[in-house]
């Protein structure tokens, strides 16, 4: 495996479900990110972890809960989501959390019914 | 509210022509600027970074930065159908919290054979 891998690639869930998105990076990077991409909107930063410590929570609702057990793995736990949370969730990593050179995973397409 | 503005397009150019993509940003102290390419159904991929005024060339791609006018552009020479994608401009906010990369909505480029 190389780069940044995300699972699952597609997820459909009801508003009462609990699910998790997983991200793994094989680049030896120090920082990992969750971004949300919705139609007609810019990429929105959700969370940043640097050396497994959360350094940014961009005013994200508490129904999204990140977890970073080590520098290679990042999770996004989802519960009681709303239909407007349907989007592409992108994981990224970088060597330097203050630089802009991000390496993205292929994304997890989430649909909330 | 710090913003990055791009014309959403679509920008349509014939094969072999020069495609010019433009981006303006509102934060006067921004120091780092990036162009990401995103093919339909895929994740963004970094293609160019520029940090100082002037031009930076990489193969068929040239990034141009003018900090006084707060704009950054991407020129694609000898455009190919494989260049058809959405191009995202991103600006790193100086002094912002870690990972504070602001993205534009992207310009969709279509190169016609």
For A15-41, write each residue's pLDDT tens digit: 888 999 999 999 999 999 999 999 888
Instruction: Give the residue from A11, A8, A24, A17 showing the smallest Cα distance to A67.
Output: A24
pLDDT of residue B93: 75
Minimal Cα–Cα distance from B18 to chain A, Å?
A: 25
Instruction: Give ∠ CA B108-B93-B97 in degrees, rounded to 5.
Output: 120
Chain A residues closer than 8 Å to B4 by CB: 42
* pLDDT at residue A52, as a whole number: 76
Residue B73 has pLDDT above 80, yes or no: yes
Predicted local distance difference test score (pLDDT) of residue B89: 96
> Which chain B positions have a beta carbon within 8 Å of A94's beta carbon?
99
Closest CA to A110 of A22, A4, A25: A22
Quick: pLDDT tens for B3-58. Answer: 899 988 899 999 999 999 999 998 777 889 999 999 998 999 999 999 999 999 99
How high does pLDDT run on average in chain B? 91
Q: Does B34 touch chain A (CB under 8 A)?
A: yes
The answer to whether residue B95 scores a pLDDT higher than 70 is no
Q: What angle do CA A89, B73, B50 make, to 5 degrees?
A: 75
| pLDDT tens for each residue of A50-109 | 887 887 777 899 999 999 999 999 999 999 999 999 999 999 999 987 778 899 999 999
Q: What is the mean pLDDT of residues B66-70?
A: 92
Q: What are phi and psi of B72, to 5 degrees?
A: -135, 140
When pLDDT is cut at 50, 70 and 90, the band that residue A1 belongs to is low
B69 in A contact zone (CB under 8 Å): no
């Amino acid at each position: 495996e190389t780069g940044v891998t995300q699972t699952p690639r597609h997820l459909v869930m009801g508003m009462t479900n609990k699910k998790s998105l997983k991200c793994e990076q094989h680049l030896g990077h120090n920082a990992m990110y969750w971004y949300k991409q919705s139609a007609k909107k810019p990429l929105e930063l959700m969370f940043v972890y640097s050396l497994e410590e959360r350094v940014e929570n961009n005013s994200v609702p508490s129904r999204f809960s990140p977890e970073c057990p080590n520098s290679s793995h990042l999770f996004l736990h989802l519960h009681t989501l709303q239909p407007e949370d349907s989007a592409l969730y992108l994981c990224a990593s970088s060597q330097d959390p203050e630089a802009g050179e991000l390496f993205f995973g292929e994304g997890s397409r989430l649909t909330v019914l | 509210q710090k913003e990055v503005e791009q014309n959403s397009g679509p920008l349509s150019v014939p094969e072999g022509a020069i495609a010019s993509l433009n981006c303006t940003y509102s934060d006067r102290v921004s120091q780092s600027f990036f162009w990401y390419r995103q093919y339909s159904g895929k994740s963004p991929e970094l293609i160019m970074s520029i940090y100082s005024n002037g031009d930076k060339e990489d193969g068929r791609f040239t990034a141009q930065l003018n900090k006084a006018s707060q704009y950054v552009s991407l020129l694609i020479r000898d455009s190919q159908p494989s260049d058809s994608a959405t191009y995202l401009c991103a600006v790193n906010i100086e002094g912002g919290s870690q990972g504070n990369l602001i993205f534009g909505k992207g310009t969709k480029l279509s190169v016609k054979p």
